[in-house]
Amino acid sequence: MTSLCFPRYEHLLDEAQRKAEGLDDEATEAKRLKPGEIDPTPETKPARPDPVDMDDDELEMLSEARARLANTQGKKAKRKARERQLSEARRLASLQKRREMREAGLLVRRFKRLKKNAIDYSGEIPFEKAVPAGFHDPSEDRFDKDDKHQRAIADHQKPRRMEIENELRKQDKEKLKRKKPEDEPESIFKTKEKKRSKLILPAPQISDREMEQIIKIGHASDSVRQYADGGATSSLLTDYAASARANAVAARTARTPAARDTVQM
């Protein structure tokens, strides 16, 4: 608002002075726009005066604009300006300090140290190769242009890696074709068999002689039982066959009782 009021006030003063001096308005006529033209600097036009009868919204907006304009020089604006001035002073002081330390030969690091194998692109040159100390013989740098041309031709005519691999594959195929199936057929088609260990049985607890004696005793008991069958002393003889059958039946797993299966569908 003030930026428009001051030029308007000065313009009114100039017009009043011109009328008092009796000058004509030729200069002002030259500045006036013709019909259909557009003012290139509309911000320089004088502000229109506020209407007398305004709505409540317009009055509220105008009062808010006046309050904002008056608040540009308040406490908050002064505090913000003071903070900006302090931050600028700190920046200039740190810049001057780094400049003095750099001139004194001290290394100043503004950023955090990177990892061990990382490259600091802002402070280092990647893949830099240091120049060896001492004098260098420039005669080694001389080269023959024709020699370089011949080496380039030789490198171009050199077989490529893919060509070498294709040639090796062809040679392998020819070797397989020439090879006959009778050449070591066992080593090619024979499958590896798992080796089994020998069966090791424990030593017998009863020898053959003892076994023969047991058989003879069994035959003798059978013959005695035949003679004593039906006698009074037949109950004193032990039937070894019956006891063996009873032991076998007892050692066998008991069978479940037979029953009809019922399956619900």
pLDDT of the residue at 262: 66
pLDDT of the residue at 88: 93
pLDDT of the residue at 186: 60
pLDDT of the residue at 89: 92
CA distance 20 to 167: 110
pLDDT along the chain (265 residues), means of 10: 69 80 58 73 76 81 80 76 90 91 76 70 80 83 69 76 86 80 59 75 80 79 67 62 59 61 61
pLDDT of the residue at 254: 58
Nearest to 47 by CA among 3, 101, 88: 3
CA distance 58 to 50: 10
pLDDT of the residue at 78: 80
Q: Is 261 exposed, middle or buried (0-12, 13-18, 19+ CB in 10 A)?
A: exposed
User: At 59, is the secondary structure helix, strand, or coil?
Assistant: helix
Residue count (the chain): 265
pLDDT digits (tens, 9 = 90+) for 230-259: 566 666 666 665 665 566 555 555 566 666
Kindly state the tokens that stand for 185: 């057929």
CA 207, 208, 209, 212 torsion-angle sign: positive
pLDDT of the residue at 19: 79
Residue carrying structure tokens 């300006």: 81
